A and B are shown apart, each in its own frame.
Chain A
Amino acid sequence: MAPPAHSSRSPSPSQPSGKGEVSDLKSQLRQLAGSRAPGVDDSKRDLFKKVISYMTIGIDVSSLFGEMVMCSATSDVVLKKMCYLYVGNYAKVNPDLALLTINFLQRDCKDEDPMIRGLALRSLCSLRVPILVEYLVGPLASGLKDSNSYVRMVAVIGVLKLYHISSVTCMDADFPAILKHLMLNDRDTQVVANCLSTLQEIWTAEASNSGEASRERDALLSKPLIYYLLNRIKEFSEWAQCLILELVAKYVPSDTNEIFDIMNLLEDRLQHANGAVVLATIKVFLQLTLSMTDVHQQVYERIKAPLLTLVSSGSPEQSYAVLGHLHLLVMRAPMLFSSDYKHFYCQYNEPFYVKKLKLEMLTAVANESNTYEIVTELCEYAANVDIPIARESIRAVGKIALQQYDVNAIVDRLLQFLEMEKDYVTAETLVLVKDLLRKYPQWSHDCIAVVGNISSKNVQEPKAKAALIWMLGEYSQDMQDAPYILESLAENWDDEHSPEVRLHLLTALMKCFFKRSPETRKALGIALAAGVADFHQDVHDRALFYYRLLRYNISIAERVVNPPKQAVSVFADPQSSEIKDRIFDEFNSLSVLYQKPSYMFTDKEHRGPFEFSDELGNLSTEANVSAQKVEADDKDLLLSISEKGDSGFPANGSAYNAPSYDSSKSLSASSTSSDLVILETGVLHQASPSLAIDDLLGLGLSTTPAPAPAPPLSLNPKAVLDPGTFQQKWRQLPISLSLELPVSPQGVAALTTPQALIMHMQGNSIHCIATGGQSPNFKFFFFAQKSEELSKFLVECIINTSSSKAQLKIKADDQNSTQAFSVLFESALSKFGML
């Protein structure tokens, strides 16, 4: 019941008037401090309440500290509690004043009322003032031995608080050993549970420093303890049960009998009213049976019903938390859920985040028997008013098409989407049709007929426009208007804001040119001229590359741009199976909802570089730029390539060398389209040996003859690797060599900025792909490529300037040459003065 009497008297929080009120309170508190008149406690209570409500709404009442402490000399529990609350709030900012409270808190820790003992001990441990830790040890030690379980429960968590303020004090007092004893012997389950969480935290934190701690941590998973907890599990509170189940999930039973015993014991936990307990139990079942395929499948069947119930009950937030886990399981074993697809139908009022997960699950469980129903349902959503969901649904239909053999009906549906004449539907569908054609080229006739009717003016989204242009280029022989549509796009080059679209336009025109050259020649000329003059680096480079390729040899150009393609059988999975397994190991945690393993978002050490690499991933479409973007110096260098045109740019390893550059300059200077129109006839077989452009488009055809064979290991000075590939390789390859090297003082001095080292290494044909960190820790990712083959080396190099050490991790495609490469790498470092 709300205390109406008090609330009406206390000032309304919406009118805080600050100082005047506070000093008013101060004098009132002073008056009451010494008074022993009857009823004084009641007036004190009102005053304290006022102080606390001020504190809550953010008025600084720390100036009352002295008076509050004076007034706290009382036997009234209500007053004491409010006073503890006040002290706990302000002690941290007023350590000196906090000292004043130690006295009365310590006295209260010896009170005859166990509740006061517990409260005082909790407040004492919550002061969080490092200089006062010495006063904590005594009360904590007696608190752990207290006859009352409430006090012991508070004291156990108190030990954890002490540990976080001063781990040394905590370890010196040998508290962990006491807790271990309590955990096995205390009759109160909450005390046991608190001991468990405290010890888990302490040993996990200590494990990196001492072997003993890590042994202790492992001892928490020992058979006697696990059995002890499991046998009493029903006596624990639901929250403590979650804690224990989490621990059991990590336990490795010795044989299958043990596994079945544990599962039988926990079977009824699946019917617990608390969803968190059910989920924790599910985790135990899943983890225990990982190695037993048949049983693991049975577990899936067993947990299906409880999971579906949890999803459909509780608040949207709760069901979201469960749905995330269901999603994970469905993705792991879609077959087992294929008959439950109706549970994943979306309700109209469900929030977006729920619908999105459901759509993904619908996509995953689609198989031959249910595809028709699922696709029909998805088509309902595609016509939904909610645009993001409509988009997701269309994508889902597309994904199902890509994973099915019988796509006949689905293609029809997709083509019907195009007839809906809604911009976003058309846009999404175009992207999908493009992917479909890459996998099932046999459908091109049906699709092209419909796609050909779409006016490019109605397509605005870059991705969709790019897809449309790709189809126009790829199937230009089947589409009457293709060259003319492309031509009008090329003429409006400047209106096209997305570099992605401009890149696709260039390529599409090239493809079209090889198929219908008389009709395309003019358009290609316009596009190449505009492309070379483009301010975007990638567009500029690609245009230049095409131009030179055409000049070099038309038939080679055709082989580069328009090689015979094989249908894509499987599209790459964005998430590696290693990551998926890690997420599965962290079942029942945030990882599942974020869909990434915990080290990516909790571990500070990892978070840095990973955020960084994410950024690289996003930029991978502009790989050229992003790699350079890292350092300002290089950017200048880039500018000098495209604008100033000075001949020398040492140690850059750029694909262009001076003579060829000159030609490009003249081109961009006199970029008139008439020049280019005649290129078709003029440039045949005009071989220019200086052109050594690597496989820029990644089409898998290298036009560059291998440079002269070199000594045992020579590196390609022009190696190219985009960040995405780097990341992928880094994940896939094992570490073939890792070593730690001392760094000389000169090296430290030279490493004022990461750029200095990067420039130097580039001179040695070792390229930097990413850097990070701040003094004293620098982190570099390098790569290099063998000059005569595609085999690459990846290096992670962490240099700590304060400890003067460099840590190297080398991964290689070709393990045999790792040693040779590491010698090269070290010598490069030592030339820089590092070693």
Chain B
Amino acid sequence: MPVAASAIYFLNLRGDVLINRLYRDDVGGNMVDAFRMHIMQTKELGTCPVRQIGGCSFLYMRISNVYIVIVVSSNANVACAFKFVVEAVALFKSYFGGAFDEDAIRNNFVLIYELLDEIMDYGYPQNLSPEILKLYITQEGVRSPFSSKPSERAVPNATLQVTGAVGWRREGLVYKKNEVFLDIVESVNLLMSSKGNALRSDVTGKILMKCFLSGMPDLKLGLNDKIGLEKEAQLKSRPTKSGKTIELDDVTFHQCVNLTRFNSEKTVSFVPPDGEFELMKYRITEGVNLPFRVLPTIKELGRTRMEVNVVVKSTFGAKMFALGVVIKVPVPKQTAKANFQVTSGRAKYNASLDCLVWKIRKFPGQTEATMSAEVELISTMAEKMASTKPPIQMEFQVPMFTASGLRVRFLKVWEKTGYNTVEWVRYITKAGSYEIRC
């Protein structure tokens, strides 16, 4: 039984029901009260997103200031239920035009009821594909396609899905200018020991596409990944070109990708949905290029003084630069104030985070920046300072850089009318969880 949800609730942070849909009668009426009593009003809230109370299980997740709670009475498929919620929220967002929060829900009661009725019937997920839903959702003026009345307005956003939902392509699309946008977005995770060894590092990446193409185009994407290149070399019986090849640990694709062809020929070929979608996701653990090195030295000078010295080096190409670099250095709770000296950016002490926060708006490649701070502590009766501190955390974005080294070698578009397309390719690497112990 994949989900068989008995009910779905949307609650605000106080526990008021914003909207709910009871699909089945097999759970008691006061499920929300049970949820409020046993989960929201206790410390349990942060402990586990799946909880059993009485005969029911509550699967809940928080999205902005809303709790979405699925109640089941059977032995449900949890992964499926959470995926359903995530997809449903993405769908709502596309209808609301952006934000999903308490206000958006309050302003769209009727629409949400309509959607909830279509995407789930008697607890079984039905159709979450926006292309199909467009046919059945009446709110915002989209008429039934079967009725004779002409449709007045089109849903502007329903096709702009950034989800992995099955969205197949409509016939007869026409664009004046045929364009494809491809973004490789990587997030790099690092856990560095206090001695400067990378305990673990990996990259999770995704390829996002936006297609404005007429007709039924066939696309083929070539990457510099190892398997693909080897296969190609094998097929064309010529040696692999020198240059870096990337070994992908694991890849998942959007529905539109022909997996049989991927498995046999190792090429990514597909007929894209219209608009925005996530083409593939991948993970890499070997040969990660860490964009930044962080070298902290923290000295305790007596009971009331500390000296913090942090050197950050950028390792990417000199022509590139990182944006929005933030380095958070944790300090003890009893910190009174801190005096800074920085070579670039600005630093200050943030008492609510118990951190020294150092921000650098633009950080060029192959350079290094230093912050040294003198931290004054309030002397306390506590016999010992905390023997360890949380790790230093770092945020950044590096455009035109991939931590994995992945590159697009080609992106080919075929369509029977043979039009010309413009292809745009971008790369960006963001910090995932970038932690340096000190």
Contacts and interface: CB of A to CB of B under 8 A. Distances in A.
Interface of A: 1-4, 7, 13, 49, 52-53, 56, 58, 77-78, 81-82, 85, 113-116, 122, 128, 150, 153-154, 157, 160-161, 164, 190, 194, 197, 200-201, 237-239, 242-243, 246, 267-268, 271-276, 278-280, 305-306, 308-309, 312-318, 320-322, 324-325, 342-343, 345, 347-349, 351-353, 377, 380, 383-385, 420-422, 586, 588-594, 598, 601-602, 604, 607
Interface in B1-51: 1-4, 17-19, 24-25, 46-50
Contacts, number: 251
Most chain A Cβ neighbours within 10 Å, of B109, B125, B386, B391: B109
B341 interface: no
A239 to B, nearest CB: 4
Nearest to A76: B138
Please give me the 10 A-B residue pairs with the lowest Cβ-Cβ distance, nearest first. Answer: A273-B164, A268-B259, A598-B75, A239-B125, A305-B250, A276-B80, A383-B388, A317-B49, A342-B200, A115-B144
B127 A190 contact: yes
B438 to A, nearest CB: 12
B140 interface: yes
Contact of A318 (B52, B79, B122, B143): B79
A128 B24 CA distance: 10
A36 B233 CA distance: 74
Interface of B: 1-4, 17-19, 24-25, 46-50, 52, 55, 57, 59-61, 72-80, 82-84, 86, 95-97, 104, 106-110, 113-114, 117, 121-122, 124-129, 135-136, 138-140, 143-144, 146-147, 155-157, 164-166, 189, 191, 199-200, 202, 204, 249-255, 259-260, 262-263, 278, 281-283, 384, 386-391, 393, 433, 435, 437
Given A115-B136, A161-B122, A278-B252, A13 B106 contact: yes
B143 A77 contact: yes
A321 B79 contact: yes
Contact of A314 (B49, B86, B125): B86
A77 B144 contact: yes
Contacts of B144: 77, 113, 115-116
Given A273-B254, A318-B82, A1 B140 contact: yes
A239 B136 contact: no
A358 B98 CA distance: 35
B82 A237 contact: no
B261 to A, nearest CB: 10
Nearest to A421: B384
Contacts of B200: 342-343, 345
B77 A420 contact: no
A242 B77 contact: yes
Contacts of B126: 153, 190, 194, 239
A157 B127 CA distance: 14
B16 to A, nearest CB: 8
Contacts of A153: 126
Given A588-B79, A607-B55, A77 B259 contact: no
A398 B223 CA distance: 47
A594 B50 CA distance: 8
B252 A591 contact: no
A348 B252 CA distance: 27
A206 to B, nearest CB: 16
Contact of A352 (B46, B82, B254): B46
Contact of B281 (A53, A309, A348): A309
A161 B4 CA distance: 13
A1 B95 contact: yes
B49 A316 contact: yes
Contacts of A280: 77, 80
13 contacts: A1-B96, A1-B155, A7-B107, A153-B126, A238-B166, A239-B80, A242-B80, A271-B251, A324-B78, A348-B391, A590-B52, A590-B75, A602-B75
Most chain A Cβ neighbours within 10 Å, of B47, B127, B129, B146: B146
A353 B252 contact: no
A85 B122 contact: no
Contacts of A275: 79, 83
Most chain B Cβ neighbours within 10 Å, of A82, A317, A325: A317
A380 B283 contact: no
Interface of A is mostly: helix
B202 A589 contact: no
A237 B166 contact: yes
B122 A157 contact: yes
B75 A586 contact: yes
B199 A115 contact: no
A305 B227 CA distance: 16
B50 A593 contact: yes
Given A53-B109, A273-B281, A276-B83, A589 B75 contact: yes
A239 B84 contact: yes
A540 B388 CA distance: 45
A352 B47 contact: yes
A12 to B, nearest CB: 9
Contacts of A237: 125, 127-129, 166
Nearest to B384: A421
A286 B98 CA distance: 41
B140 to A, nearest CB: 6
Contacts of A377: 199
A351 B25 contact: no
B343 to A, nearest CB: 27
A267 B2 contact: no
Nearest to B135: A115
Contacts of B77: 242, 246, 276, 279-280, 588-589
A590 B124 contact: no
Contact of B83 (A308, A318, A594): A318
A704 to B, nearest CB: 45
B2 A348 contact: no
A19 B267 CA distance: 66
Contacts of B199: 342, 345, 377
B260 A268 contact: yes
Nearest to B263: A268
Contacts of A161: 122
B191 A113 contact: no
A3 B124 contact: no
A306 B48 CA distance: 23
Contacts of A318: 79, 82-83, 86
Contacts of A52: 109-110, 113
B46 A351 contact: yes
B2 A242 contact: yes
A79 B393 CA distance: 54
B252 A306 contact: yes
A351 B135 CA distance: 41
Given A81-B138, A309-B283, A385-B390, A273 B278 contact: yes
Given A1-B157, A49-B110, A601 B140 contact: no
A590 B114 CA distance: 29
Contacts of B255: 238, 272-273
A274 B143 contact: no
A194 B124 CA distance: 8
A55 B55 CA distance: 28
Nearest to B108: A2
A696 B74 CA distance: 43
Contacts of A77: 138, 143-144, 147
A493 B225 CA distance: 71
Contacts of B4: 197
B61 A315 contact: yes
B259 A589 contact: no
Contacts of A274: 83, 164
Contacts of B143: 77
Nearest to A598: B75
Contact of A348 (B49, B165, B263, B433): B433
Given A52-B110, A164-B25, A268-B259, A353 B204 contact: no
Contacts of B260: 268
Contacts of A348: 390-391, 393, 433, 435
Given A77-B144, A345-B200, A348-B390, 16 more contacts: A1-B157, A78-B139, A115-B147, A164-B25, A237-B128, A238-B164, A309-B204, A309-B249, A309-B252, A313-B283, A314-B86, A316-B49, A320-B50, A380-B437, A590-B52, A607-B55
